[in-house]
């Protein structure tokens, strides 16, 4: 279940008056359907790119209108089909879901599920992810670290009520603002996507590529180095002169280097032990890394650089690359 939850952007939107039976009029989505139009626009904003669907999105619509509140409609971008940008056809998909006979969570059409779950159930389902309550007076989003696995909570045209806010407090949701003005819910979703898209692009551009290694050499982003540390996406040549002076060889790792490797929110440390694995990582260093709750990967350098490149796509990785024997 946790794997399935990884790397998704989630939005939970409460529709305080949204109709909970399928007998509403498709020509009156704002009126008899209880401002269902707002939720339909949220579906558009959550999933549509110009010529594609965002697959890494899950949207929970909490319908609290009459006659059968609550209903939760869950839309999953990995599975969703038959979604068109026009609101009327999406309204028909929602109406089909509301006409389903319910027994637990039921699939209505591919990627669209309906249940009798309430707001707190949805929050509980997403509680292993970073939880963000979008609100005008929250912390500026530009100063907030956004995890890969994140859930944003928004309201429709009415503010969340006290009970809904107290649920968010209970789950320690972080109140975050998208700017000084009071915006439409669907526009907030677009702004969130844009913020994360830009950060992801920057992250990709910044990512170091270790291209190849041979005896005494490693090529990183087109430049040739000898032994290096990679810390917080920066390449730092190892001070081999100093290492030889202290240890008589560069086949050991200094305390100073361990300190550097532990810098900058690191999640994994990769150590390339040389072309034939002669560099040693003593138990004291292993213990220090383990007790900082950081994963340690030790491997001969040709293998280590491959591991570095693939791990760095997902996690913050620092490395020490030894290039000789």
Ligand X SMILES: C[S@@+](CC[C@H](N)C(=O)[O-])C[C@H]1O[C@@H](n2cnc3c(N)ncnc32)[C@H](O)[C@@H]1O
Minimum distance between the CB of residue 180 and ligand X, rounded to whole angstroms? 7
Q: Which residues contact 199 (CB under 8 A, 6 or more apart)?
A: 146
18 binds ligand X (CB under 6 A): no
231 binds ligand X (CB under 6 A): no
Q: How far apart are CA 193 and CA 230, in angstroms?
A: 30
DSSP 12-60: EEEETT---SS---TT-TTTTTTSHHHHHHHHHHHHB-SSSB-TTEEEE
Q: Give the residue nearest to ligand X (CB).
A: 155
Q: Could you say which of 64, 135, 193, 238 contacts ligand X (CB under 6 A)?
A: 135
Q: Is the peptide bond before 184 cis (omega within 30 degrees of 0)?
A: no
CB 301 within 8 A of CB 275: yes
Pick between residue 73 and residue 188 the one whose CB is nearest to ligand X.
Answer: 188
Window of 177-185, 205-213, 246-254, 265-273 that interacts with ligand X by CB under 6 A: 177-185
Minimum distance between the CB of residue 161 and ligand X, rounded to whole angstroms? 11
59 binds ligand X (CB under 6 A): no
Q: Could you say which of 163, 182, 205, 265 contacts ligand X (CB under 6 A)?
A: 182
Window of 22-30, 123-131, 152-160, 275-283 that interacts with ligand X by CB under 6 A: 152-160
312 binds ligand X (CB under 6 A): no
The alpha carbons of the chain give a radius of gyration, in whole angstroms, of: 25
Q: How many CB atoms lie within 10 A of CB 299?
A: 16
Minimum distance between the CB of residue 151 and ligand X, rounded to whole angstroms? 13
Q: Could you say which of 19, 178, 230, 289 contacts ligand X (CB under 6 A)?
A: 178
Binding residues for ligand X, total number by CB under 6 A: 17
299 binds ligand X (CB under 6 A): no
Which DSSP state fits 168? H
Q: How far apart are CA 161 and CA 223, in angstroms?
A: 57
Window of 98-106, 110-118, 134-142, 214-222 that interacts with ligand X by CB under 6 A: 134-142
Sign of CA dihedral 109, 71, 98, 54: negative
Q: How far apart are CA 201 and CA 128, in angstroms?
A: 25
154 binds ligand X (CB under 6 A): yes
Q: Could you say which of 110, 179, 237, 264 contacts ligand X (CB under 6 A)?
A: 179
Locate 127 and state its tokens: 């509680």
Minimum distance between the CB of residue 178 and ligand X, rounded to whole angstroms? 4
196 binds ligand X (CB under 6 A): no
Residues in contact with ligand X by the rule CB under 6 A: 134-136, 154-155, 157-159, 177-179, 181-185, 188
């Amino acid at each position: 279940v946790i794997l399935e939850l990884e790397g998704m952007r989630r939005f939970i939107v409460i529709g305080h008056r949204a109709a909970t039976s399928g007998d509403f009029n498709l020509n009156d989505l704002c009126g008899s359907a209880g401002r269902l139009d707002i939720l339909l626009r949220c579906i558009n904003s959550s999933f549509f790119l110009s010529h594609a669907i965002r697959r890494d999105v899950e949207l929970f619509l909490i319908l609290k209108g009459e006659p059968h509140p609550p209903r939760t409609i869950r839309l999953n971008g990995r599975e969703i089909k038959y979604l068109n940008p026009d609101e009327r056809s999406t309204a028909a998909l929602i109406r089909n879901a509301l006409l389903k006979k319910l027994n637990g969570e039921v699939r209505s059409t591919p990627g669209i599920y309906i249940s009798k779950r309430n707001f707190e159930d949805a929050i509980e389902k997403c509680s292993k992810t970073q939880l963000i309550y979008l609100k005008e007076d929250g912390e500026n989003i530009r100063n907030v670290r956004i995890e890969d696995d994140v859930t944003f909570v928004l309201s429709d045209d009415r503010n969340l009520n006290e009970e809904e806010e107290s649920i968010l407090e209970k789950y320690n949701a972080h109140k975050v603002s998208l700017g000084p003005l009071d915006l439409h819910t669907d526009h907030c979703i677009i702004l969130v996507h844009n913020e994360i898209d830009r950060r992801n692009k920057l992250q990709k551009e910044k990512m170091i590529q270790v291209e190849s290694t041979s005896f005494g050499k490693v090529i990183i982003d087109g430049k040739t180095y000898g032994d290096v540390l990679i810390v917080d996406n920066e390449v730092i040549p190892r001070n081999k002169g100093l290492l030889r002076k202290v240890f008589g060889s560069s086949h050991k790792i200094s305390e100073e280097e361990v300190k550097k490797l532990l810098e900058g929110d690191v999640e994994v440390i990769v150590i390339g032990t040389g072309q034939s694995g002669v560099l040693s990582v003593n138990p004291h260093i292993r213990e220090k890394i383990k007790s900082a709750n950081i994963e340690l990967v030790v491997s001969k350098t040709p293998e280590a650089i491959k591991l570095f490149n693939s791990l760095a796509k997902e996690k913050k990785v620092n490395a020490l690359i030894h290039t000789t024997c």
